[in-house]
Structures are given as C-alpha cells and as structure tokens.
C-alpha cells in the first residue's frame, strides 16, 4: 500500500535527521536545522489516517522536541538533549521495525 510506504519514508527520514542532530549537537545552527527537519517529518506522520504509529506514541516523540510554555507545548530546539533525541529515535525505530539500521540512516 502506497500510504504505508510513504509513512516508512517519513519515519526513516525523521530518524536520518535526528542522527544528524545528534552528530552535530555542538553546532547550534546545524543541529537546529537537522532537528527542525526531523520535527517536520515526524509531524507529517499525523496525516496518514492508516498510520502504524499510535497517536500516543506520536505525541510522545513530538514532545521530545517541545517545551511547556504556560500550559501548552510548543516546538523548541533549545532544550533538547542527546538522551531525548535517542529516545525519540528509539521509539520511531521500534514502531517501524528499523532497530537494526537506525544508526545508519
């Protein structure tokens, strides 16, 4: 099914950009570019009505890229950690069966 393949492409691309953010964590400009791309691809997963990832897991992954601003969460790349990025990557790779290749994407 085309939607499943599209969803897999979005997930692998998000993991690719998370890896780039981790690799360039010390460079704010490159890290933020990589992670903004990752966040966009993660968000795109919402729009597949037949998505493999649950809404709860998708929100959890997005929350690794957000901070609480007066009671509602907004995207922010200033407070991410390598640990939280690895947790986001691990959740995506587990859901999509990519654990064996997640570090090579």
Calpha distance 95→11 (Å, rounded): 9
Question: What torsion, rounded to 10 degrees, do the Cα atoms 82, 91, 103, 86 define?
Answer: 10
Give the range among 14-18, 32-36, 74-78, 83-87 with minimum mean pLDDT: 74-78
pLDDT category of residue 101 using cuts at 50, 70 and 90: very high
- Residue 1: the pLDDT is 83
pTM of the model: 0.94
27-47 average pLDDT score: 96
Calpha distance 76→38 (Å, rounded): 12
Calpha distance 105→47 (Å, rounded): 23
Percent of the chain whose pLDDT exceeds 70: 100
Residue position matching structure tokens 């897991």: 57
Paired tokens of 33: 């570019």
57-81 average pLDDT score: 92
């Amino acid at each position: 099914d085309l939607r499943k393949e599209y969803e897999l492409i979005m997930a692998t691309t998000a993991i690719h950009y998370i890896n780039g953010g981790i690799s360039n964590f010390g460079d704010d400009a490159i890290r933020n570019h990589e992670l903004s791309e990752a966040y966009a691809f993660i968000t795109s997963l919402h729009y597949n009505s037949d998505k493999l990832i649950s809404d709860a897991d998708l929100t959890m992954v997005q929350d690794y890229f957000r901070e609480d601003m007066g009671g509602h969460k907004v995207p922010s790349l200033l407070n991410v950690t390598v640990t939280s990025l690895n947790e986001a990557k691990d959740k995506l790779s587990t859901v999509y069966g990519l654990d064996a290749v997640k570090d090579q994407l």
